[in-house]
């Protein structure tokens, strides 16, 4: 059967950027910036993204395009009869785990979008009221399950439509819209009286705040935000045509992911400062602190709708990329139809996600290694499977693939002169610097 490809360069970019830009940018990045000292964290983050993680992104995309196969098939093809196939196995299982709990948060975003359309964040609501609204919601049984189900269904529908007419087309409409939405919100936020303090916090670094913990948080976030180590960028790479410049597409992806994270921080933190709230709010920032701000700021009802719509769009384009890994595997290795594959992935992800969702309420007493089910899957994948996956992929490209194959992919057989010039440096990063850096995040993740 003919494999599908992305149609053109813009299609590749919206798909890859769609995967990268997600809850990580709108939810995780701003609260990490808030918790780890503002500009100093951003400063370290820039190094992590462009120096350490970009070569890893190149590596994943190289494996994908070289093999033109799904995450499992890629290792079977490039290293037949070796233990590398286990990396393929992990690269198919991990994204299914991630999409399961990711879609739980996607479901929360749907619910909050709905609440904002109903103008439920009423004027003058207190923080305590909105906090208990959130607690009541996530600990209940049905509403979060319904959200999870709808979110996963929407993802599955785009996947069934195919690579070009599903993933690519959806991205081409949604990604530009996402940028417009978040820019509107950023403009509102930085024009609030008192927002200046927030901007200073974001852009004036206090270097004394940088320590080991900040570095490892920044590297971990860069990893998550660029969707590394779980086979998604590998799978997308396999849909990139031979004449596309993968180094350029990967670099644009990293740049847009970073710019989006910055704009998202401008949309959120200045408003937090304008209301005299604590930026170190942690994970509750988006679902508790922001609704309080929306309830109390001019035009807040309207901005709430914009924000939660952005959150859904960002989350869905990322969950599509996670979902596609399992579907590509089933279609190519198990020879089932795309539709059937989508249903199978839906069933598995729905079940794991449902357990994660219930672990905030009725199943909160069930602990795996001392963690609730949601936290267990979150930590297992973010601190363990993703990092080991990323480490092994970069080692695979640096040490297992031949240098000439890597060169061929990176420079389109020597025809891209700019890529030729930077190849030596990139290859050095891939062979030595990146594996060591990733090993460090992994070990520090075990320590904290």
CA distance 280 to 32: 8
Sign of the torsion formed by the C-alpha atoms of 5, 11, 15 and 17 = positive
CA distance 235 to 63: 9
Decide if 289 contacts 272 (C-beta within 8 A).
Answer: yes
Name residues whose C-beta falls within 8 Å of residue 152's C-beta, 6 or more positions apart in sequence: 99, 103, 106, 319, 346, 349, 350, 353
**Residue 121, Cα to own-chain centre: how many angstroms?**
28
Nearest Cα residue to 49 out of 333, 343, 250, 304: 250
Binding site for ligand PHE (CB under 6 A): 19-20, 22-25, 98, 224-225, 227, 230, 232, 318, 321-322
Nearest Cα residue to 249 out of 413, 20, 430, 434: 20
Count of alpha carbons within 13 Å of 448, Cβ hemisphere only?
15
Nearest Cα residue to 331 out of 80, 168, 160: 160
Give me the residue label for tokens 């357990």. 355
| Phi/psi of residue 371, nearest 5 degrees | -115, 150
DSSP letter (8 states) at residue 368: B
């Amino acid at each position: 059967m003919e494999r599908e490809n992305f149609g053109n360069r813009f299609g590749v970019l919206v798909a890859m950027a769609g995967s990268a830009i997600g809850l990580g940018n709108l939810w995780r990045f701003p609260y990490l910036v808030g918790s780890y000292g503002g500009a100093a964290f951003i400063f370290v983050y820039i190094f992590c993204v462009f120096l350490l993680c970009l070569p890893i992104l190149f590596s994943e995309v190289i494996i994908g395009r070289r093999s033109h196969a799904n995450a499992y098939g890629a290792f079977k093809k490039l290293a037949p009869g070796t233990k590398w196939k286990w990396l393929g196995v992990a690269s198919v299982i991990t994204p299914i785990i991630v999409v399961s709990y990711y879609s739980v948060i996607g479901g929360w975003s749907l619910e909050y979008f709905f609440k904002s359309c109903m103008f439920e964040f009423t004027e003058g609501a207190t923080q305590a009221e909105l906090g208990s609204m959130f607690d009541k919601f996530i600990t209940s049984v049905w509403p979060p399950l319904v959200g999870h189900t709808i979110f996963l269904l929407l993802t599955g529908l785009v996947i069934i439509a195919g690579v070009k007419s599903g993933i690519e087309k959806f991205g081409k409409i949604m990604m530009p819209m996402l940028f417009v939405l978040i820019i509107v919100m950023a403009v509102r936020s930085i024009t609030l009286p008192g927002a200046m303090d927030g901007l200073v916090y974001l852009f004036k670094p206090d270097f004394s705040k940088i320590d080991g913990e900040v570095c490892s948080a920044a590297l971990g976030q860069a990893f998550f935000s660029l969707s590394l180590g779980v086979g998604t960028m590998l799978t997308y790479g396999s849909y990139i045509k031979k004449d596309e410049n993968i180094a350029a597409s990967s670099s644009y992806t990293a740049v847009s992911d970073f710019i989006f994270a910055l704009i998202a921080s401008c949309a959120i933190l200045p408003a937090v400062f304008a209301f005299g709230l604590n930026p170190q709010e942690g994970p509750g920032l988006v679902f508790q602190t922001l609704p309080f701000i929306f309830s109390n700021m001019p035009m807040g009802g309207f901005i709430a709708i914009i924000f939660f719509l952005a959150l859904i769009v960002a989350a869905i384009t990322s969950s599509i990329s996670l979902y596609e890994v399992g579907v590509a595997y089933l279609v190519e290795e198990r020879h089932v139809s795309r539709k059937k594959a989508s249903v199978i992935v839906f069933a598995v992800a729905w079940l794991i996600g449902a357990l994660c969702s219930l672990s905030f309420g009725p199943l909160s007493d069930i602990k795996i290694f001392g963690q609730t089910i949601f936290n267990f899957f979150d930590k297992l994948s973010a601190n363990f499977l993703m990092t080991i996956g990323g480490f092994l992929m970069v080692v695979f490209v640096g040490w297992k693939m031949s240098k000439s194959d890597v060169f061929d992919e990176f420079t389109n057989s020597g025809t891209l002169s700019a890529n030729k010039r930077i190849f030596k440096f990139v290859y050095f990063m891939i062979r030595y610097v990146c594996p060591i850096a990733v090993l460090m995040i992994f070990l520090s993740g075990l320590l904290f």
